[in-house]
């Protein structure tokens, strides 16, 4: 009996191995890796970022590389928002023969996987990982978004000048490079003595004590650029406990999760982000009808067609990858890597070009505030640091 079972298991494994990769398309296929969280803390955000790539892929399913038309196939790997799963997820993409990788949402997983991409020489284009460590010291990592030192400064200036805050409460998640990094740069710009900085451990469900802490310490702005999952609960608690100060956050909060959580409450939320809905009406119309006609996409976007900036960034990232492939004239990752630094693209979120570290040359961010009556974003300002 035991032998039979083990034999059956071995057979199953063997078949699984053989069945991988039966291609039947007419055109040759070029694979683009999608290195995004589909589960865990950042799962919801990762799914929204992937939506942009999928929409772009549905609009432009082929690309001409070196005179041949290739079908573009998106290959997915879930990094589970977890730094220890990220290297293996990256390796799955590399082994499946991708030419270039897009992602990830969340900086930690990108930093964790950068070595794996580096060892294989496969280029990666970060979409919304804003921590400077992603590209610093890594030759294969590029990114199309702005960086935390910039975003942190914009937010600190906004808190000081527009909100008139003099003491800030900063809340990050322990071990999270995104929120930790952003808080760090915010504090640097805002002034260390005027900030209360706390970190909550993973698996926290009780955010009410942090709200109480902010109130007790007499802060007048609540800065918490954490994952949307935590954000929804922070907003709920801020409402029940009458927080009494504006909440400020970074690009992750530009999501309909936040809007749904904040609708009908009395909280004041401001975020900085990459894209303001309405900036490109044709694009908005196109992607919204695509989302509405595609039940899976609609579910992945949280059940409505409110656009998240990360979706638009995912859309742009896909085209940057196509530009790189065209310029490389081959599907070999090494060739793509070689041309990537000089690739430029006029995207929906603005012009995209890389500096010598591999970071995007971006000098402006949009500030939006949440309209709690309608559950939509109101445009506040375009912010730059100069």
Partner 1 sequence: MDVLKTTLPYIISGISVGGQYALIAIGYTMVYGILRLINFAHGDVFMVAGLIMVYLAASLPLYLAIPLVIILTVLLGFTIERVAYKPLRTAPRMSVMISAIGVSYLLQNLALYITGGLNKNYPQIPWISDRITLFGMETSRVTVITPFLTILLVFALVQLINHTRIGMAMRAVSRDFETSQLMGIQINRVISATFIIGTFLAAVGSILFFTNYPGVVPTSGAMPGLKAFVAAVFGGIGSIPGAVIGAFIIGIAESVIKGLDTILIVNGAIGEQIGLATFSDAFTFVLLIVILVFKPTGLFGEKSTDKV
Partner 2 sequence: MSETKNKKGAWIAFIAVLAFLGLVFALDQLIKPTDRLGMLLIVLQKGSVYALAAVSMNLLNGYTGLFSLGHAGFMLLGAYTYAIFTIPDKSRDAVYQYFDAAIRFSIPEQLSNHMGGFGTALGILIALLLAGLVAALLAWLIGLPVLRLKSDYLAIATLGFAEIIRALFQWSKLGPVTNGSNLLKNFARASKFKVELAGMKLSLSTFVPVLIATVSITLIVLIVNSTYGRAFKSIRDDEIAAEAMGINLAKHKMIAFVTSSFFAGVAGATLAMVLSIAQANNFKSAMTYEILLMVVLGGIGSITGSVIGSLLFVAASEWWLRGLDSGKFLGIEAPNIFRNGFRLVVFSVIIMIVVLFFRKGIMGEKELPDLFRKKKAPAKEAQS
Residues of this chain that bind partner 1 (CB under 8 A): 38-41, 43-44, 47, 78, 80, 174, 196-201, 203, 205-210, 212-213, 216-217, 229-230, 232-233, 236, 239-242
Our CB check for partner 1 shows the closer of 30 and 243 to be: 243
Binding partner of residue 205 among partner 1, partner 2, none, CB cut-off 5 to 8 Å per kind:
partner 1
**Which three-class secondary structure state does DSSP give residue 365?**
strand
Our CB check for partner 1 shows the closer of 258 and 340 to be: 258
How far is it, in rounded angstroms, from Cα 15 to Cα 201?
Answer: 42
**Which three-class secondary structure state does DSSP give residue 156?**
helix
Compute the least distance from the CB of residue 260 to partner 2, in Å. 22
Our CB check for partner 1 shows the closer of 42 and 135 to be: 42
Compute the least distance from the CB of residue 92 to partner 2, in Å. 6
| Nearby residues of 231 by Cβ (< 8 Å), 6 or more positions away | 224, 249, 252, 253, 257, 258, 261
Binding partner of residue 210 among partner 2, partner 1, none, CB cut-off 5 to 8 Å per kind:
partner 1
- For 161, the token pair is 């000048």
Binding partner of residue 20 among partner 2, partner 1, none, CB cut-off 5 to 8 Å per kind:
partner 2
Binding partner of residue 239 among partner 2, partner 1, none, CB cut-off 5 to 8 Å per kind:
partner 1
CA angle 55, 83, 182 (to 5 degrees): 80
Q: Which residues contribute to the site for partner 2 (CB under 8 A)?
A: 2, 5-6, 12-13, 15-17, 19-22, 38-39, 76, 78, 82-84, 87-88, 91-92, 94-97, 108, 111-112, 115-116, 118-122, 132-133, 136-137, 174-177, 180-181, 184, 199, 201-202, 333
Our CB check for partner 2 shows the closer of 83 and 311 to be: 83
**Other beta carbons within 10 Å of 217:** 11
Our CB check for partner 1 shows the closer of 207 and 366 to be: 207
Binding partner of residue 54 among partner 2, partner 1, none, CB cut-off 5 to 8 Å per kind:
none
**Which three-class secondary structure state does DSSP give residue 275?**
coil
- For 93, the token pair is 């993409």
Our CB check for partner 2 shows the closer of 138 and 312 to be: 138
Binding partner of residue 194 among partner 1, partner 2, none, CB cut-off 5 to 8 Å per kind:
none
CA angle 141, 144, 149 (to 5 degrees): 90
Compute the least distance from the CB of residue 367 to partner 2, in Å. 26
Compute the least distance from the CB of residue 17 to partner 2, in Å. 7
Q: Exposed, middle or buried: residue 280 (CB in 10 Å: 0-12, 13-18, 19+)?
A: middle
Our CB check for partner 1 shows the closer of 65 and 257 to be: 257
**Other beta carbons within 10 Å of 266:** 11
For residue 29, whether the previous peptide bond is cis, meaning omega lies within 30 degrees of 0, is no
Q: What is the dihedral of CA 323, 328, 333, 334, to 10 degrees?
A: -140
35 DSSP β-pair partners = 77
């Amino acid at each position: 009996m035991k032998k039979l079972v083990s034999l059956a298991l071995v057979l199953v494994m063997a078949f699984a191995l053989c069945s991988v990769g039966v291609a039947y398309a007419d055109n040759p296929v070029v694979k683009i890796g999608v290195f995004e969280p589909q589960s865990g803390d950042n799962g919801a955000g990762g799914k929204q970022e992937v939506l942009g790539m999928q929409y772009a892929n549905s609009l432009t399913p082929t690309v001409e590389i070196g005179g041949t038309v290739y079908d573009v196939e998106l290959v997915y790997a879930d990094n589970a928002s977890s730094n220890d799963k990220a290297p293996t997820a990256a390796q799955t993409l590399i082994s499946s023969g991708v030419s270039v990788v897009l992602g990830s949402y969340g900086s930690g997983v990108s930093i964790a996987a950068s070595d794996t991409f580096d060892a294989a020489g496969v280029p990666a284009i970060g979409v919304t990982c804003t921590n400077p460590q992603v590209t610093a010291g890594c030759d294969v990592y590029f990114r199309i978004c702005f960086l935390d030192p910039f975003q942190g400064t914009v937010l600190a200036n906004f808190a000081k000048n527009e909100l008139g805050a003099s003491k800030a409460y900063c809340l990050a998640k322990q071990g999270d490079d995104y929120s930790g990094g952003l808080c760090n740069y915010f504090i640097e710009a805002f002034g260390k003595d005027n900030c209360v900085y706390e970190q909550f451990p993973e698996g926290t469900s009780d955010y009410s004590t942090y709200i109480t802490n902010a109130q007790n310490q007499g802060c007048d702005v609540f800065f918490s650029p954490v994952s949307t999952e935590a954000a929804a609960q922070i907003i709920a608690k801020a409402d029940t406990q009458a927080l009494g100060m504006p909440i400020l956050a970074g690009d992750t909060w530009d999501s309909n999760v936040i809007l749904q959580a904040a609708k009908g409450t009395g909280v004041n939320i401001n975020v900085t982000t990459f894209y303001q809905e309405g900036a490109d009406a044709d694009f908005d119309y196109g992607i919204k009808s695509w989302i509405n006609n595609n039940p899976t996409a609609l579910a992945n976007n949280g059940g409505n067609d409110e656009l998240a900036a990360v979706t638009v960034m995912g859309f742009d990232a896909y085209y940057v990858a196509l530009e790189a492939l065209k310029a490389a004239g081959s599907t070999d990752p090494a060739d793509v890597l070689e041309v990537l630094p000089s690739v430029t693209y006029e995207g929906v979120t603005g012009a995209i070009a890389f500096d010598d570290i591999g970071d995007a040359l971006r000098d402006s961010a949009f500030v939006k505030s949440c309209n709690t009556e309608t559950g939509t974003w109101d445009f506040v300002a375009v912010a730059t640091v100069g």
